[in-house]
Amino acid sequence: MTSPTRPSLDDPALAIPVDRAGVFEPIPMARTERQQEFYSLRDGEMLINLGPQHPSTHGVLRIVLKISGEQVVDLDPVIGYLHRGVEKLCENADYHQAICYTDPLEYLASLFCEWSPVMAFEKLLDVQVPRRAEYIRVLAGELNRVASHTLYVGFFALDLGGITPVLWSYLERDEIVEILAALTGAKLLFNYFRIGGVNGDLNHEFMSRLGDWMSHASRQVEAGTALLNENEILVRRARGIGTLDRDTAMRMAVTGPNLRASGVPWDIRRAHPYSVYPELEFDVPTRSEGDCLARYLLRVDEIKQSLRIIDQCLHQMPDGPIMAKLPRLVRPRPGRAWAAIEGPRGLYGTYAISDGTDQPFRMRIHDPSFVHLQLLSLLVPGNLIADTMAINASLDPVMGGVDR
Amino acid sequence: MDAALRARLETRFGELLTGPVRQRHDETEMRIGPGSVPEVLRTLHDEPGLRFTLLADLCGVDTGTDLQVVYHLWSETTNDWLRVVADGLPREAPRVPSATFLWKGAEWLEREAWDMFGIVFEGNRDLRRILMPDDYDSFPLRKDFHLPDDASRSPGGGVRPMERANPPADATADTVRRRSPAG
């Protein structure tokens, strides 16, 4: 029995104002043309979330899948869970500090994230980098590329259901990061490149570890990929899945191995040479199929080319200084510079604007994973839900770079 | 530097250019008004002597007074990077035609420029926030968006000369001394 003095819950004076902005909308209000198309469901279709905490999404990526039965009809990737505002942070740090902010962007290939801003700042400052420093950069960079591609091979197999290859990949990668740790002092976030050179010279431990590894590296690559290349399950799940043709790849602004797997032989190391790459001999492997298997096999070919480059670097390493003469506080003259390099995932670019102070006025960081993630909504529809993982893994996005 | 490219761009685009074509290192830079973006990009992409088919980057820039959209393009006909700057977008209503009719992959890059600078790309069919949450209502990379905590300028920023490059305006000799390791 309610007493007459007890207030009713329907009393409008007791209503708690609800902040609509804070309420989670499972199906957001359609605002753009694309959202209207995506969030209007036909008979038999439903929406399902993949991620953000899903082991196959390579980080905190959420994909809203529109499915009909077991088939994906459409999908909408939702990103930004790892956004740290690195570009803004770099505008508020001086040029040397900005480099270490870019380091954790792409945590599997940190050296490449340092490389492009360092090159852009050197252009702003008109600094000539000593040749020995350039060789050390290429040497360390190619080692990092091998580490990144090795892990790619393992995770590609893992997402298709094979556990063993990823364990082998980690063994291989561990050896490489130990080598890099001997050189740079860190295993993951190296912070090794400096404006005008590198942080430290080659040392005995690095050379002896590298020599050990080089003696069995190519054999290990062969052993690891022999497990996969002829594997019935992997090949049947990857061949003909997620086919990206040449023109679409160009239209989607794709770069790097994903572009070369579609038959475009565009590698910045050859197309627009930087550092000492013109002095080194290597091939640019391409494949014409453009499917998941081609993207995987292309990375294996690239590992072999990287081993060739490392070998040449060791033989051609010149003597000399490893740093250009620079003041500790740099103030480039006002101007703009763009530097792009070929990383393990594609084009890493930095567009830096200087206003004459010790901090970049604007620093734009272009990351290939961000662009490549758009391909999901192009390649996945029409395939099964399980193929989402295969295609996502074959594109090799790293969410740290996507979200910046 | 490709001097021939500069001449080609100047003769081809003449009246569409809003500033001189500049060259430095391996970069060529041209400035255009926001209205002529589709025409210029279409010509750069299709014309046999230019063939800038690869979009390397698209980003927004806040110059402090107005906004810009910057395109970086690559072509096999030249060994320069081409930078196309769409200049002079007013802060209150920055609008520029979308580049998605040539490069579908520009869609997310334009979404990011909208997210960070509030630049509206007309013709982009999915112009919504991408990195920031949907209910966010400012544009963080604009110059009038200040970070609440600017670590590099705080008195605790560091004691070495390089790290103390910018002492905060309210720092006194006393606060700086107190934080040095010597006591």
Q: How many domains does chain B have?
A: 2
Grouping H, G, I as helix, E, B as strand and the rest as coil, residue A198 is strand
- Judgement on whether residues B123 and B55 belong to the same structural domain of the protein: yes
Token pair recorded at residue B13: 């685009």
Q: Cα distance from A96 to chain B (closest Cα, Å)?
A: 9
Q: What is the pLDDT of residue B173?
A: 53
Q: What is the pLDDT of residue A103?
A: 87
- Mean pLDDT confidence for A398-402: 89
- Judgement on whether residues B164 and B181 belong to the same structural domain of the protein: yes
- Judgement on whether residues B83 and B150 belong to the same structural domain of the protein: no
- Judgement on whether residues B115 and B179 belong to the same structural domain of the protein: no
Burial environment of residue A318 by CB neighbours within 10 A (0 to 12, 13 to 18, 19 or more):
exposed
Grouping H, G, I as helix, E, B as strand and the rest as coil, residue A135 is helix
Rounded Cα gap, residues A135 and A183, in angstroms: 14
- Judgement on whether residues B84 and B162 belong to the same structural domain of the protein: no
Q: What is the pLDDT of residue B106?
A: 92
Count CB pairs under 8 A between chains A and B: 128
Grouping H, G, I as helix, E, B as strand and the rest as coil, residue A142 is helix
- Judgement on whether residues B133 and B153 belong to the same structural domain of the protein: no
CB contacts of A350 in chain B (<8 Å) are none
Residues 16-35 of B with CB under 8 A from A: 24-27, 29
Task: Please state, for a pLDDT cut of 90, what percent of chain B lies above it.
Answer: 34
CB nearest B152 (choices: A97, A255, A362): A97
Token pair recorded at residue A12: 């409008």
> For residue range A64-105, what is the model confidence (pLDDT) as tens digits?
999 998 999 999 999 988 898 899 888 888 898 899 899 888
When comparing pLDDT for A200 and A25, which is higher?
A: A200
Task: Print burial letters for A91-123: b (CB count within 10 Å at least 16), e (below 16).
Answer: bbbbbbbbbebbbbbbbbbbbbbbbbbbbbbbb
Q: Cα distance from A101 to chain B (closest Cα, Å)?
A: 12
Residue B39: CA atoms inside 13 Å, Cβ hemisphere, count? 10
Do residues A63 and A57 make contact, with C-beta atoms less than 8 angstroms apart?
yes
Rounded Cα gap, residues A170 and A157, in angstroms: 13
Task: Using DSSP bridges, classify how beta strands B120-122 and B95-97 pair: parallel, antiparallel or unpaired.
Answer: parallel
Confidence of residue A233 (pLDDT cuts 50, 70, 90): confident
Which neighbouring-strand residues pair with A353?
A336, A362
Residue B18 clears pLDDT 60, i.e. is over it: yes
CB nearest B25 (choices: A83, A123, A328): A123
CB contacts of B144 in chain A (<8 Å) are none
* Residue ranges making up the domain that contains B45: 3-141
Q: Cα distance from B66 to chain A (closest Cα, Å)?
A: 14
Confidence of residue A176 (pLDDT cuts 50, 70, 90): very high
Find the length of chain A: 404
CB contacts of B56 in chain A (<8 Å) are 253, 255, 340, 347, 349, 366
B66 and chain A: CB distance < 8 Å anywhere?
no
Residues 6+ apart with CB under 8 A from B102: A251, B41, B42, B45, B55
> For residue range B103-128, what is the model confidence (pLDDT) as tens digits?
999 999 999 999 999 899 998 888 88
CB contact (8 A) between residue B59 and residue A364: yes
CB contacts of B105 in chain A (<8 Å) are 251-254, 371, 374
The number of beta carbons lying within 10 Å of the beta carbon of residue A60 is: 18
Residues 6+ apart with CB under 8 A from B3: B23
CB contact (8 A) between residue B102 and residue A335: no
Residue A19 clears pLDDT 70, i.e. is over it: no
When comparing pLDDT for B165 and A213, which is higher?
A: A213
- Mean pLDDT confidence for A139-167: 90
| CATH code: domain of residue B98 | 3.30.460.80
- Mean pLDDT confidence for A210-229: 85
What's the mean per-residue pLDDT of chain B? 79
Find the length of chain B: 183
Do residues B179 and B156 make contact, with C-beta atoms less than 8 angstroms apart?
yes
Q: What is the pLDDT of residue A24?
A: 55
CB nearest A92 (choices: B24, B62, B152): B152
Q: According to the 3-state scheme, what is the secondary structure of chain B? A: CCHHHHHHHHHHHHHHECCCCEEECCEEEEEECHHHHHHHHHHHHHCCCCCCCEEEEEEEEECCCCEEEEEEEECCCCCCEEEEEEEEECCCCCEEECCCCCCCCHHHHHHHHHHHHCCEEECCCCCCCCCCCCCCCCCCCCCCCCCCCCHHHCHHHCCCCCCCCCCCCCCCHHHHHHCCCCC
- Mean pLDDT confidence for B48-70: 90
Rounded Cα gap, residues A302 and B102, in angstroms: 30
Q: Cα distance from B127 to chain A (closest Cα, Å)?
A: 6
Grouping H, G, I as helix, E, B as strand and the rest as coil, residue A36 is helix
Q: What is the pLDDT of residue A261?
A: 92
What's the mean per-residue pLDDT of chain A? 87
CB nearest B108 (choices: A94, A254, A370): A370
- Judgement on whether residues B120 and B178 belong to the same structural domain of the protein: no
Residue-range domain boundaries for chain A? 86-403
Rounded Cα gap, residues A262 and A371, in angstroms: 16
Q: B52 to chain A: nearest residue by CA?
A: A250
Q: What is the pLDDT of residue A36?
A: 83
First to last CA, chain A: 59
CB contacts of A254 in chain B (<8 Å) are 105
Token pair recorded at residue B5: 């490219």
> For residue range A32-61, what is the model confidence (pLDDT) as tens digits?
888 888 888 888 888 888 878 776 767 788
- Judgement on whether residues B23 and B100 belong to the same structural domain of the protein: yes
CB contact (8 A) between residue B56 and residue A347: yes
CB contacts of A271 in chain B (<8 Å) are 74, 76
CB contact (8 A) between residue A362 and residue B162: no
Question: May I ask the CATH class of domain A86-403?
Answer: mainly alpha
**Location of structure tokens 């902040």:** A19
Token pair recorded at residue B168: 């905060």
* Residue A356 amino acid letter: G
* Residue B71 amino acid letter: Y
* Residue B160 amino acid letter: R
- Judgement on whether residues B98 and B163 belong to the same structural domain of the protein: no
CB contacts of B104 in chain A (<8 Å) are 251-253, 374
DSSP string, A374-389: GGHHHHSTTSBHHHHH
Rounded Cα gap, residues A65 and A77, in angstroms: 8
DSSP string, A50-100: E-SS-GGGSSS-EEEEEEETTEEEEEEEE--TT---HHHHHHTS-HHHHHH
For the sheet containing A71-78, what is the strand order?
A: A45-50, A62-68, A71-78
B53 and chain A: CB distance < 8 Å anywhere?
yes
- Judgement on whether residues B77 and B24 belong to the same structural domain of the protein: yes
- Judgement on whether residues B87 and B67 belong to the same structural domain of the protein: yes
Do residues B123 and B73 make contact, with C-beta atoms less than 8 angstroms apart?
no
- Judgement on whether residues B134 and B161 belong to the same structural domain of the protein: no
Q: A329 to chain B: nearest residue by CA?
A: B162
Residue A2 clears pLDDT 60, i.e. is over it: no
When comparing pLDDT for B82 and B135, which is higher?
A: B82
CB nearest B131 (choices: A83, A329, A366): A83
CB nearest A33 (choices: B116, B125, B165): B125
Q: What is the pLDDT of residue A229?
A: 84
Do residues A264 and A246 make contact, with C-beta atoms less than 8 angstroms apart?
yes
Q: Cα distance from A352 to chain B (closest Cα, Å)?
A: 10
Q: What is residue A210's DSSP assignment? A: H
Residue A274 clears pLDDT 80, i.e. is over it: yes
Token pair recorded at residue B14: 């003449």
CB contact (8 A) between residue A88 and residue B140: yes
> For residue range B124-183, what is the model confidence (pLDDT) as tens digits?
888 888 998 877 777 888 887 766 544 444 444 444 434 434 444 555 554 443 333 332
CB contacts of B129 in chain A (<8 Å) are 80
- Mean pLDDT confidence for A278-284: 91
Grouping H, G, I as helix, E, B as strand and the rest as coil, residue A107 is coil
